[in-house]
Chain A
Amino acid sequence: MHVTTVVIGAGHAGLAASHFLRAASIDHVVLERGEVANSWRHERWDSLRLLTPNWLNRLPGASYEGPDPDGYADMAEVVDFLERSAKDVPVRTGVAVTSVRRSDGGYSLTTSQGPIEARTVIIASGACNVASVPGLAAAVPSSVEQVTPFDYRTPSRLPDGGVLVVGASATGVQLAAEIQRSGRPVVLSAGEHVRMPRVYEGRDVLWWMHHSGIWSQRYDEVDDLTRARRLPSPQLAGASTLDLNVLTSLGVELVGRLSAIRDGAALFSGGLRNVAALADLKMNRLLDTFDEWAGTAPGERFQPTRVPDSSRWRLDLTSGEIRSIVWATGFRPDYSWLDVPVVDAKGSLVHDGGVVGDGLYALGLPVLRRRRSTFICGIEDDAREVVDQLRLDLAG
């Protein structure tokens, strides 16, 4: 089979790419190893709701039309939404791409359903294919069960007893809260994190991010792009604020960043106070930016993060206190099928605003073209611009 453009992946990024390819009359196919919206169907935990409000989740060809624009969608609703935007998309589901290599006319793909030749390829296979678990996990005693967000579904599937949640970004704070509520005492290990209130001056904090233009800041205007691309997800979850103070009130115990596992004990950094201070300072700067943009007097400022006077820096993993560890330490993409030398030593795709070069493109990566690039609401502009470039490259 020959096609001008192959899009790999039918998440929102691949679907958006198809929308603009069709508008440009470029013949293409979207290859998806599972189903449309596969990640949302199979790689998320049961209680997950989007942290972006419904009104904000726009895709080319689909916006929220339900009764609750200020609500936060559950996974069934997200899948519905993506399926709506997939109506006219030439998706071939159940086709896993197992290799992409350079060929004379572009790229040769090997798939679970046979070979395909393409002039150009758009990689929309996702930024969160595997859990990034630190190497020190190997030293965890075998009596402690370990799960990643991919294995985790609901607290009742964890063993009874204490749970160490490692990581305090969106995933970590959400799981820590529901596990603590299930009666399993949680110790939460927090490194650097991004604190945000759910609501500021009566508006969703993401309303401010969106309208103030912070989220549309372009990748070539960001001071330190490498840092911006590594920024952890904000501590947000559904309808109410979920910062470390809320978790402390629920009874979660805070400890510093996990720095080693030695002789069966987890050792945490003594720098918890500073990561909390950094997050508070950054949140306040963000709120100042909102005020400046709105031209209004400073609004509410939130309580500084409460940190225990002396947080534990050692936790015996053999005593029975901790029965399981949840690694909420982030996600990374999987490019094991990509046989083109465009991935750097750290496993990141090398690209300039989604243009890898030689007819290879990418969508859906952190700050690909804008701060909001990985979010559903960020794909429309990115996909339009990347497909525009692809069209020009084909013509040139």
Chain B
Amino acid sequence: MTNGVNVQALLDAREVLKGAPEAAQFTWRASSKWQHGVHSTTKIEKFFGLGQEQTHKHESVFEADHPAIFAAEDNGITPIEYLLVGLASCLTAGIASVAQNRGIKLNSVEASVEGGHDIRGILGADADVRNGFNDIKVTFSIDADASPADIEALVAQSQKRSAVFDALTNPTNVTVEVA
């Protein structure tokens, strides 16, 4: 049975890192460049982890812009939509890993993610409205060789161990400086 997740490697890493907290310190990096209007390009290639510099197999490039209804050129998705990409992919990865670990064969996993956003906040139209999402709703459709309760448990466990779920549901210290 395999979902293609190397769970043994993850379990081994957990054991090793228990006794080596320094090696567990990762830094993820992105670098962005303004293009024109509200269009920017962000590239990701290198990160730090396991005590040394690491490189992805390929550089990834992300275009962000605003849609035409915001009088922009729509060269890419809006920045806040990238959060949905992160959440959906993180929870999905979690489901695959937990399923593998529990011996559950997945046939298909699909998610639709909706973020409710009152844009009066970012427009400064109402000081009582926040800038970010009000609510995010993720709906999974999962076909797997498992009972409905086991599938619910996969989804719950994937939230419990999700980096992006945590980053979105809990506050994080953010420092923004001018170099």
A301 to chain B: closest CB distance in Å?
10
> Which of B134, B149, B170 is the one whose CB lies under 8 Å from A269?
B170
Name the interface residues of B146-177: CB closer than 8 Å to any CB of A. Answer: 149, 152-153, 156-157, 159-160, 165-166, 168-171
Q: Which residues of B contact A90 (CB under 8 A)?
A: none
Instruction: Say yes or no: A271-B156 contact (C-beta < 8 A), given A281-B149, A284-B149, A310-B135.
Output: no
Q: Which residues of B contact A285 (CB under 8 A)?
A: 149
Instruction: Say yes or no: A277-B156 contact (C-beta < 8 A), given A284-B149, A310-B135.
Output: yes
For residue B159, which residue of chain A has the nearest CB? A274
Count of A-B residue pairs with CB < 8 Å: 37
Binds B, one of A81-89, A246-254, A256-264: A256-264
Question: Cβ of B156 and Cβ of A278 under 8 Å apart?
Answer: yes
Name the interface residues of A308-324: CB closer than 8 Å to any CB of B. Answer: 310
Q: Bound complex: CA of A310 vs CA of B159, how far in Å?
A: 18
Q: Which residues of A contact B135 (CB under 8 A)?
A: 310
B contact face: mostly helix, strand, loop, or mixed: helix
Question: Cβ of A271 and Cβ of B165 under 8 Å apart?
Answer: yes
For residue B130, which residue of chain A has the nearest CB? A314
A232 sits at the interface (CB 8 A): no
Q: Bound complex: CA of A262 vs CA of B172, how far in Å?
A: 11
Interface size on A, residues (CB 8 A): 17
Q: Which residues of A contact B159 (CB under 8 A)?
A: 271, 274
Q: Which residues of B contact A270 (CB under 8 A)?
A: 168-170
B67-111 interface bits toward A, Cβ cutoff 8 Å, 1 = contact, 0 = none: 000000000000000000000000000000000000000000000
Q: Bound complex: CA of A259 vs CA of B171, how far in Å?
A: 7
> Which of B134, B152, B170, B171 is the one whose CB lies under 8 Å from A281?
B152
Q: Which residues of A contact B171 (CB under 8 A)?
A: 259-260, 262, 267
Q: Which residues of B contact A267 (CB under 8 A)?
A: 170-171
Name the interface residues of A112-160: CB closer than 8 Å to any CB of B. Answer: none
Q: Bound complex: CA of A260 vs CA of B152, how far in Å?
A: 29
> Which of A269, A277, A278, A310 is the one whose CB lies under 8 Å from B169?
A269
For residue B168, which residue of chain A has the nearest CB? A270
Question: Cβ of A271 and Cβ of B169 under 8 Å apart?
Answer: yes
A interface list, Cβ under 8 A from B: 192, 256-257, 259-260, 262, 267, 269-271, 274, 277-278, 281, 284-285, 310
Interface pairs A-B: 4 shortest CB-CB: A270-B169, A259-B170, A271-B169, A274-B159
Known: A271-B170, A278-B157, A284-B149. 5 other contacts (CB 8 A): A259-B171, A262-B171, A270-B168, A271-B159, A281-B152
- Sampled A-B contacts (26; CB under 8 Å): A192-B160, A256-B169, A257-B170, A259-B170, A259-B171, A262-B171, A269-B169, A269-B170, A270-B168, A270-B170, A271-B165, A271-B169, A271-B170, A274-B156, A274-B165, A277-B152, A277-B156, A278-B157, A278-B160, A281-B152, A281-B153, A281-B156, A284-B149, A285-B149, A310-B134, A310-B135
B interface list, Cβ under 8 A from A: 134-135, 149, 152-153, 156-157, 159-160, 165-166, 168-171
